[in-house]
Amino acid sequence: MAVDHFEIKENLSSISTKLKELGNHLDILALEKELSLLEETSTSEDFWNNREKAQDILKKSSEIRDTLDKWKNISTKFEDAEILISMSLEEKDEDSLLDAWNELQTVKRLLEEMEMEEMLSGEMDGNNALLAINAGAGGVDAMDWAEMLQRMYLRWCQLRKMKATIVDLTEGAEAGIASCTILVEGPFAYGYLKGESGVHRLVRISPFDSNARRHTGFASVLVTPDLNEDIDVEVRDEDLRVDVYRASGAGGQHVNKTESAVRLTHLPTGIVAACQNERSQHQNRAMAMRMLKAKLYQLKKIEHEKKMENIVGTKQKIDFGSQIRSYVLAPYRLVTDHRTELKIGNVDSVLDGDLDPFIREYLLSDLE
């Protein structure tokens, strides 16, 4: 495979510029100085006299060290690729040039990831995430669409090397799923996924229509931060309704013969959280409470900001005119984000978990 020399030079220039811009934004020299001071403080004899302050200093040191390590790794890789490209062009070695080009693409990807992480400066952006999917208007097509979205987000987690656990699942009557909740664990999980909250619309030739007509299905996605242990959200026992039921299974020996699944309903707000993934009723109740507190925290935060659209407590219908993103499979193929106007024609890639272009555009628009 031959590599276009002009394209290589364009990429070198572009990546070099972005590296400098990111370096200026981070202020690498200031970070190195701050880390040095923090490390010096941590070696003092009275460092652990104030345990809470000491833990804050160690956490800050770890965050700065991680940022500097990532920056230095990208810079080193770029310098190596730059030298290899220069030597390959000089010696007209196309094989080495191809290796250098691949290394340059790795640098580009790492740089984009670091740029995205720098956009995630919200209070909860570094937390794990709870992602809930609910089928809306569209009948069996909507339930099938909800299951397609579930697969899409599980694939995104896999590509991002994040741990994804389905903690609650309600299957559809004929096909697909009525709802599910996924716990996503990994660096900046909530920060990356927070922009996915909203209504997602699918247009396609329905596989459930014998006349092969085009149908539209809707599903809602709600992303809330998984709260740290030090954030307390009060939930009074008298405000809760607790229901226990048998967890759904694949049948046969896998059927759950005990009522271990738990559903919690917060009566003042109507918010519901359920879990059936754990082995015992006690564990499922603990996870359901964790999910409920996350939703209540998000509701309180949004109420404070007076922005109730597309979040817990909204009365928005999962129906026409309310979607944040449309996935059209017929009569043409296109995925459109209606907030950023980003359009991608490779629908299969998006449904297979390639969501980073949409996530990146949303984060950039959120900064404006």
pTM for the model:
0.71
Mean pLDDT of 141-145: 96
For 5-119, CATH gives 1.20.58.410
* Cβ burial 101-118 (10 Å sphere, 16+ → b, else e): bebbeebbeebebbbbbe
Mean pLDDT of 336-351: 96
Retrieve residue 105's tokens.
């693409």
| Residue 239 · residue 266 · CB < 8 Å | yes
Q: Write the burial class of residue 224 (CB in 10 Å: 0-12 exposed, 13-18 middle, 19+ buried).
A: buried
Peptide bond into 331 cis (omega under 30): yes
| Residue 368: per-residue pLDDT | 57
Q: Could you tell me which of 89, 95, 272 has the C-alpha nearest to residue 181?
A: 272
Q: What is the pLDDT of residues 94-128, one digit of tens each?
A: 888 999 999 999 999 899 888 887 888 788 898 99
Ranking 118-132, 214-228, 268-282, 303-317 by mean pLDDT, the lowest is 303-317
The DSSP bridge pattern shows strands 198-205 and 323-328 to be parallel
Average pLDDT score, the chain: 87
CATH 3.30.70.1660 for domain 129-367: yes
| Residue 294: per-residue pLDDT | 87
The contacts of residue 54 (CB under 8 Å, 6+ apart) are: 42, 47, 48
CB atoms within 10 A of CB 220: 26
Mean pLDDT of 176-199: 94
Q: Where are the domains of the chain?
A: 5-119, 129-367
Taking every pair of Cα atoms in the chain, the longest distance, rounded to a whole number of angstroms, is 79
**Is the predicted pLDDT of residue 250 greater than 80, yes or no?**
no
Q: What is the DSSP letter of 274?
A: E
Ranking 194-198, 206-210, 217-221 by mean pLDDT, the lowest is 206-210
Q: How far apart are CA 183 and CA 226, in angstroms?
A: 8
